[in-house]
Amino acid sequence: MVNCKEIYRLLSDFIDDELDYEFEREIEQHLNTCKCCLSLINTFRKTINLFNEIETIEVPEKTHKQLWKAIRIEIYEKKIITKRRLK
């Protein structure tokens, strides 16, 4: 029988129908008895659907470069902070 921990681990594979039939049936049985996991699955599906509905917009090249520069700086700073905490 499938447990909650396995549901979390296999969430993406289950949503993408990448598991074998028998294993999917076990997960569905678990979902019939576990409201937490059912809520997780439903929320994950809704999130995917919302993401797929988002319209792509074109960003000016200058803005694109500025955004990526800011992201790289943020990542670099977080790495430094994390390294300091580990010492």
- Report the distance separating Cα 35 and Cα 60, nearest Å: 45
d(CA 29, CA 1): 9
Q: What is the pLDDT of residue 56?
A: 87
One pLDDT digit (tens) per residue for the chain, 87 residues: 899 999 999 999 999 999 999 999 999 999 999 999 999 999 999 999 999 999 988 999 999 999 999 999 888 877 766 666 655
How far is it, in rounded angstroms, from Cα 10 to Cα 16? 10
Tokens representing 11 are 């969430």
Q: How far apart are CA 36 and CA 34, in angstroms?
A: 5
pLDDT at 85: 62
Strand segments (E) across the chain: none
What pLDDT is stored for residue 60 in this prediction?
A: 95
pLDDT at 87: 57
User: Tokens 């396995």 appear where?
Assistant: 6
